[in-house]
Amino acid sequence: MAARMPITSRGGHDRPRSNGADEMQPRTTIRISLAALFAAAALLAAPSVALAAYTPPAIKVAVVRSAVSKYWLDKYNRGVDPYVREDAVTTYLQGRGWDVTQIPDSALDNLNTLRQYDVVVLQTVFAMTPQASRNMVTYVGEGGGVVNLMASPRVAPDYAGTEFGDHWFAILGNNAWEWGPLSEAYQMTFIDDMGPFNFHTTPVAGTSILTGAQAILQARGYSSSDMNMWRDAGSATYPNRYAWIELAKEVGSNTNVKRFMNLVPDTQPSQSGASYKSKDYPGTHSGASYAEYLNGRAVYFGFFGTEMLPNMNWYGLGSQPTKTSGVPQGEVFGAWMESAIAWAGTPTGAVGAIIRDGRTYAVCDVYGDGIYANQYTQNFGNVAVQGTLYFRVYDPSGRKVHEAVRYKICVEPGASHRYTQRYITSRLADGVYRVEVEYVTTYPSYGRHYVESLYVRRSAGTDLRTAYDAARTRGAYAADPRVVRYAGADRYGTALAIADAGGGYPRPGGSVVIASGGAGADALVAAGIAAAVDAPVVLTEQA
């Protein structure tokens, strides 16, 4: 058995070697030898300075080696060893001059550890604890970068104790949360995973990551004229179980996220949604995208590409293909990956505001014996939300006589879903009933309550729509680091906090406007005076 060189961190300490099943097979030695021969041939064909010509940016990169993914995949006999790809990515980047460290996934449970790196690369980090997932979202929001090379993270290990129940889409109730909390950072609408089948990718012109990938290839002496890539479903001799994609799409109104690679299906997938190409989702799909998320950046690849790397040598499925331009396809994917890491690790200060705007309304038919309604959910934001849906009826005395509750209602951006509701009695009383519908966002948890209401009488008619209830709606719906919230214990404290933020009160040689905090009209009028003299408004309890 040929020895494998240990993976070395920046500090020179040996990292754990893979103990995966793939490493114990005789074909592993053959695969490594082929990769070495291929790399040597590529170097001979290219200029002698090919690999050294490109200098990566001075950023710290962490590649996660996921023991919890190995545990979960082995537990359910998935036949995948994540260490193989994670080690290959680390080795590739180290060989290309990147400042890269391989870290155990247990490090993700410590937010301060994550903060030591500019970019975290997730390659088949199939499983991730809920705490680690939340930390990753926080890390990106604070200004970190994440690059997802497919399937990261799909499950929360042992969360439900079943193979299906551990999946994030089951935990959070919708495919929009395919990759758990990190789905929000990617800002894609995830639909379904499918394969194996033949497909190819094409670049999106004018995108930053395409420009970066082309520059990397050119610096290494390769042509950048053909940035396309392809995968096939394999054959009976070499079945390619990694020719799968995650069908996803960008939200058209979300300017935070941009596609930089298209994916074009060439055959029908043999499993999962086999009719999608001709019926549900025809044509070109998103192959990869990049997004600003609050202060950080996220890159999402929707297909398995690591097997294309030169040191993976197509992962035993045959020799590494060379494109018609004479460039090995592994070099093309490597350049795409490196460009994505460089983009994610060098934020420019741009901010990706996140809008979590789940709403509900109802259309009611009111007859003599009751109130019948179709209740709808909507999402005017740019990321998916999950919440609790309420339908309530109050009688003319103000007493709540009916409440229906639905939990874990997820709404994707731009989507609308319908639920049937009814309050039936022998005869509605005389007087005015109030119908109230509410959507309370529970994940991410930030206290948003959206309420609409409608006042009706017995036999009022049909197609009566609820209206926005400003008095009962509360909680912010946007997360934007450019917006700073000032608050005190009450209205008087809040006024002082705002005055302090504006430079204090009074300013030297300046003025302060005092208004009663008990009368809203006084403060409203005072605001105009304060603006005219550039002074803060301070509320008092005395008129």
CA 382 to chain CA mean position, Å: 11
User: Is 38's pLDDT higher than 90?
Assistant: no
Query: Does residue 294 carry a pLDDT above 70?
Result: yes
Residue 449: how many CB atoms within 10 A of its CB?
16
CATH architecture, range 24-344: 3-Layer(aba) Sandwich (3.40)
pLDDT, tens digit (0-9, with 9 covering 90-100), for 44-83: 333 333 455 899 999 999 999 999 999 999 999 988 889 9
**Looking at residue 70, what is its pLDDT?**
96
Residue given tokens 């920046």 in the structure block: 10
Q: Is the pLDDT of residue 478 over 80?
A: yes
CB within 8 Å of 25: residues ≥ 6 apart:
none
Q: Which two tokens stand for residue 105?
A: 């996934």
The CA-atom distances, in angstroms, between 339 and each of 51, 78, 248, 331 are 15, 31, 22, 12
pLDDT of the residue at 272:
53
pLDDT more than 90, % of the chain: 56
Tell me: pLDDT of 440 over 50.
yes
- The domain limits of the chain are 24-344, 354-479, 491-540
Q: How far apart are CA 272 and CA 346, in angstroms?
A: 38
On the CB side of 393, CA atoms within 13 Å amount to 23
Q: State the virtual CA torsion across 150, 114, 344, 48 in degrees, nearest 10.
A: -90
241 or 184: whose pLDDT is higher?
184
Q: Which residues contact 219 (CB under 8 A, 6 or more apart)?
A: 53, 54
487: helix, coil or strand? coil
Task: Identify the band that residue 470 occupies on the pLDDT scale cut at 50, 70 and 90.
Answer: very high
Report the sign of the C-alpha dihedral through residues 227, 233, 236, 242, in that order.
positive
pLDDT band at 20 (very low <50, low <70, confident <90, very high): very low
Q: What average pLDDT does range 168-194 have in this prediction?
A: 88
What is residue 130's three-state secondary structure? helix
DSSP 110: -
Taken as a whole, the chain contains a residue count of: 543
Tens digits of per-residue pLDDT, 260-283?
999 988 877 665 544 444 444 556
396 CB burial (10 A radius; 0-12, 13-18, 19+) = middle
Identical fold at 24-344 and 354-479?
Answer: no
Q: pLDDT band at 245, cuts 50/70/90?
A: confident
C-beta separation of 85 from 69 below 8 A: no
Buried/exposed 27-56: b ≥16 CB within 10 Å, e otherwise: ebeebbebbeebbeebeeebeeebbeebeb
**What does the DSSP assignment read for 7-45?**
PB-TTSPBPPPP--GGGGSHHHHHHHHHHHHHHHHHHHH
User: H/E element holding 133?
Assistant: helix 130-142
pLDDT class of 332 with cuts at 50, 70, 90: very high
What is the structure's pLDDT at 270? 64
The two three-digit tokens of residue 330, written as one number: 């592994």
**Residues in a beta bridge with 360:** 377
List own/partner pairs for 439-442 with CB under 8 A and 24 or more apart: 439/358, 439/359, 439/360, 439/377, 439/387, 439/388, 439/389, 439/390, 439/409, 440/387, 440/388, 440/390, 441/356, 441/358, 441/385, 441/386, 441/387, 441/475, 442/386, 442/387, 442/388, 442/408
Using the CB atoms, write b or e for 461-499: b if 16+ within 10 Å.
Answer: eeebebeebeeebeeebebeeeeeeeeeeeeeebbbebb
DSSP, collapsed to helix, strand or coil, labels residue 236 as: coil
CATH number at 354-479: 2.60.40.3880
